[in-house]
Amino acid sequence: MARRSSPPRTLWAVWFIAFILIVLVRRVIDVGDSGMTNVLTFALMFLATAAGVLWFVFRSAYDAKLRYGVLAALIVAAVALPRVIEVRGFSGEMVPVLGLRGGSSTGPATDPAAASGATIDLVSSTPYDFTGFLGSARDMRVDNVRLAHDWQADPPELLWKQPVGAGWGGYAVVNGFAATLEEREGRELVTLYDVETGDLVWAREIGGAFSHVLGGAGPRSTPLIDGGVVYAMGVRGHLVALDGATGAVIWERDVLADYGISIAEEDLNVAYGRPTSPLVVGDRLIVGVGGSVGNRVSVVAYEKTHGEVLWEAGGHNISMASPGHAVLGDVDQILMVNENWVSGHDTATGSVLWEFEWPGTTAGDSNVSQAVAVPPDKVFISKGYGSGAALYRLAGNGDGTFSPENLWTSARVMRTKLTNVAIKDGYVYGLSEGVLECIDLATGERLWKGGRYHHGQILLVGDVLLVLSEDGELIMVEASPESDNNVLGQIQAIEGHTWNTFALYGDIVVVRNEQEAAAYRLPLDQPLGWPASIEPPLEQ
């Protein structure tokens, strides 16, 4: 074949086909997940570029010095760039997160002896405590705070901002102290901070380093504070109960060892790291377990004071969700989103009350979003990866068990890949493939969709939604089925890749990501304490 100074028809054909396929993938074909769309796009662009480079170097009529100089430059770049730049993870849309090697922060001092010395009281409580993952009721709602709607006239006040260790969990805040999990210098730590100042008051090491090429480094779960005790689940299944005043270990369990789960099995079944945020119901501490095929336990209840196993139930692998609690059909129960099933368990015994299939693979297209109770007898569920959302009614069987009845399912709405939904007045709000969306709970009909916040997190606060974007922006949006993403205010709260849930303690919002944490005092529409008590809504 003769050499040419312009690309041959076959190469033009390759480029044309690649272009058409990219347009189809991005504009026409719904592959179900924006991350997969980007992966396919990058792959097609790489193949088209590689074809052009190979033709230029080996088949074109350009001067040999130029051709081989370009090849040499590409080889040098391929060797040198990874020594300078590292891939620290991927965004929720599978875009690489890059950084200079050695440029990550290890956070503030981690030695408990170097802590602030503040008097720590986690036994006392306030009406504004945010006791654990997604709030004290684990429903992404704060009903007793009313925020001012104009951040231009009255902007949030920065209380503190500082480096923090790696990790994807959020904060539990009680009586002015905020607990989280983080990894620093190869150590997995439970840490407690003064929420007003950001001062570290104690740190307790519970494990070692963990990292996944897609999921990044550090622990995944959020601690729980109950009765002066901080409960936390480490990324490798180290479950601890710590004295809230000192960080001292009260009791601990190695979940992997207790259930015979090897590290190889764990990496296969729960590749991104153990995500369970503990839940307290009465005297029980509830966590998901999973385990080996044929020896799986979906959920375990420990006696929260001493750590003895009270019951264990189910036979499914865990997902990336955490246990929930609700009263549905007049029965007190634990809600579990497992790897590929959703189930309800009797709180006292763990017995399975109902379950339905909800496909997923924890090491792949993970189920991340919580099952949301809709009293008196319904359950809402959602997921990314093209699955969408569904609403089920629990029909009583007369023997204490239930038969789930699907009321509607839609793959078009509430594709909540890494986040959860909040429900208010019969409407569901959530980030669907990174875009804020509102749907009718009863029918699944989309009412509006707007505002690309990527795979961040939300919190319903009275009549507004706080949105923490994947880029670290904090945005206040009107929570109304008619608002169509009506933004009331926004600030750049933190910098960097942000998947973490966040907490609101009274008028203080506490946010973090894998490298930075901050607290802001938000302006109020009405002072804290009005009225003296607020009755919870009968229905969501």
Task: Name the domain count of the chain.
Answer: 2
Q: Write the pLDDT tens digit of every residue in 114-169.
A: 455 568 999 999 999 999 999 999 999 999 999 999 999 999 999 999 999 999 99
CATH at 306: 2.140.10.10
Same domain, 229 and 368: yes
In a domain, 378, yes or no: yes
Name which of 409, 204, 235 is nearest 320 in CA terms: 235
Residue 102's pLDDT is 65
Q: 184 lies in a domain? A: yes
94 and 133 in a common domain: no
Instruction: Print burial letters for 185-194: b (CB count within 10 Å at least 16), e (below 16).
Output: eebbbbbbbb
Residue 524, pLDDT score: 97
What pLDDT does 41 receive?
A: 82
Q: Whose CA is closest to 235, among 277, 279, 203?
A: 277
Q: Do 309 and 425 belong together in one domain?
A: yes
> Contact, 421 vs 372, CB < 8 A?
yes
Q: Report pLDDT for 115.
A: 52
DSSP codes, 196-253? TT--EEEEEEEEE--EETTTEES-----EEETTEEEEE-TTSEEEEEETTT--EEEEE
pLDDT at position 118, please? 66
Spacing of C-alpha 506 from chain mean position = 22
Domain co-membership, 167 together with 28: no
Between 29 and 176, the more confident residue is 176
**φ and ψ of 51, to 5 deg:** -60, -40
Quick one: angle between helices 9-23 and 34-58, nearest 10? 170
Residue 455: closest CA among 492, 497, 486, 484 = 497
pLDDT band at 106 (very low <50, low <70, confident <90, very high): very low
In this structure, the answer to whether residues 331 and 474 fall within a common structural domain is: yes
Is 537 a residue whose pLDDT tops 50?
A: no
398 and 317 part of one domain: yes
Is 406 exposed, middle or buried, given 0-12, 13-18 or 19+ CB atoms closer than 10 A?
exposed
Query: What SS3 class is residue 536?
Result: coil
Cis before 376 (ω within 30): yes
Same domain for 173 and 60, yes or no, is: no
In whole angstroms, give the CA distance from residue 479 to residue 500. Answer: 21
Q: In a 10 Å sphere around its CB, with 0-12 CB exposed, 13-18 middle and 19+ buried, how is residue 330 labelled?
A: exposed
Same domain? 86 vs 131: no
Q: Quick one: pLDDT band at residue 498, thresholds 50, 70, 90?
A: very high
pLDDT value at residue 9: 83
Amino acid at 386: G
Do 334 and 398 reside in the same domain of the chain?
A: yes
pLDDT of residue 420 exceeding 70: yes
pLDDT over threshold 80, residue 107: no
528 in a structural domain: no
215 is a domain residue: yes
Among 17-21, 402-406, 459-463, 511-515, where is mean pLDDT lowest?
A: 17-21
Q: What is the mean pLDDT of residues 511-523?
A: 97
User: Angle of helix 34-58 relative to helix 64-84, nearest 10 degrees?
Assistant: 140
pLDDT tens, residue by residue, 282-321 = 999 999 999 887 779 999 999 999 999 999 999 999 999 9
- Which own/partner pairs from 441-449 qualify as long-range (CB within 8 Å, at least 24 positions apart)? 441/374, 441/380, 441/391, 441/540, 442/391, 443/408, 444/389, 444/391, 444/408, 444/409, 444/410, 444/413, 446/412, 446/413, 447/481, 447/482, 448/481, 448/482, 448/483, 448/484, 448/485, 449/485
d(CA 228, CA 230): 7
Residue 299 lies in a domain: yes
Q: Is residue 217 part of a domain?
A: yes
Residue 106, domain member (yes or no):
no
CA angle (120, 182, 313) in 5-degree steps: 90
Residues in the chain: 540
Indicate if 207 and 352 belong to the same structural domain: yes
Do 68 and 152 belong to one domain? no
The DSSP secondary structure of 311-380, one letter per residue, reads: EEE----B-S---EEEEETTEEEEEEEBSSEEEEEETTT--EEEEEE----TTSS---SPPEEETTTEEE
Query: Is 145 part of any domain?
Result: yes
d(CA 470, CA 95): 12
Q: Cα–chain-centroid distance for residue 230?
A: 20
Do residues 270 and 401 both lie within one domain?
Answer: yes
- Of the pLDDT bands very low, low, confident and very high (cuts 50, 70, 90), residue 530 is low
Rounded Cα–Cα distance for residues 384 and 368 (Å): 8
Per-residue model confidence as pLDDT tens digits over 423-439: 999 999 999 999 999 99
Domain span at residue 453? 117-521
Token pair 């503190």 is at which residue?
A: 160
161's tokens: 């901002």
Average pLDDT over the chain, rounded to an integer: 90
**Amino acid symbol at 534:** I
- Predicted local distance difference test score (pLDDT) of residue 531: 54
